[in-house]
Structure 1
Amino acid sequence: MITINAIIQAKQGQEEALFMELKKVVEPSREETGCVEYTLHQSLDEDGTFVFYETWEDEAALKAHVESEHYKAYRQATSELTDSRTVHKLRKV
């Protein structure tokens, strides 16, 4: 299993627009083969900070996700709305 923790910070004034785009990728991602969990969180402490918590069965499932049309569309749609994006690729120990 592979867990992804992606922390995304909106550009100032783009918080709602980013949130709307992030929500669009959730359902299609959950339907992908190999997706165990795909959850979007919104920070209670920092405005405009969103976190994806994802679990994938294996590297092949994660790779297929990154190559999917809905993922590519999400990345393109959010590129001008995002101030920073930090991704942690994790395994349970």
Structure 2
Amino acid sequence: MILINAIFDVKETEFDNFLADINKLIDSSKQEAGCLSYELFQSTTSENRFVMIENWADQAAVEQHNQNPDLIAFAQNVGNYVTAKPVLHVTEVATAN
């Protein structure tokens, strides 16, 4: 399983645009083969910080997800929404068989 965490520090003036774009991405991503979960959380200590937690079945699913038109569009626009470059953490998690 592949676990991806993405941290976004969003400009207050861009909340609505950020949420509109990322919710579209979430909806389409949840329909993809190999998507185990795809959730956005808002920090309880900083209302401008959001964390996306993605769980994918395997690397092939992640590679397919990287071709998602909504992800490509979001990646092109994210710089308009954030105060700093998003931080990504990717971890491969061993699963018990």
**If the length of structure 1 is used for normalisation, what is the TM-score?**
0.88
Tell me what 1:89 maps to: 90
**Which one-letter code corresponds to 1:29 in the other structure?**
S
Tell me what 2:29 maps to: 29
Consecutive unaligned residues in structure 1, runs of 5 or more? none
Percent identity, please.
29
**Which one-letter code corresponds to 1:58 in the other structure?**
D
Q: How many residues align?
A: 93
Provide the C-alpha distance between the structure 2 equivalents of 1:92 and 1:68, rounded to a whole number of angstroms: 23
The runs of at least 4 aligned residues of structure 1 exceeding 6 Å deviation read: none
- Which string of whole-angstrom CA distances, capped at 9 and with x for unpartnered residues, describes residues 21-40 of structure 1? 21111110000011011011
Bigger radius of gyration among the two:
2
- Which string of whole-angstrom CA distances, capped at 9 and with x for unpartnered residues, describes residues 25-74 of structure 1? 11100000110110111112112211111100111110111121111011
Q: Does 1:65 align with 2:71?
A: no
CA RMSD of aligned residues (A): 1.5
Tell me what 1:20 maps to: 20
Q: Secondary structure at the match of 1:46?
A: coil
Tell me what 1:53 maps to: 53
**Which one-letter code corresponds to 1:89 in the other structure?**
V
**If the length of structure 2 is used for normalisation, what is the TM-score?**
0.85
Larger proportion of strand: 1
Tell me what 2:10 maps to: 10
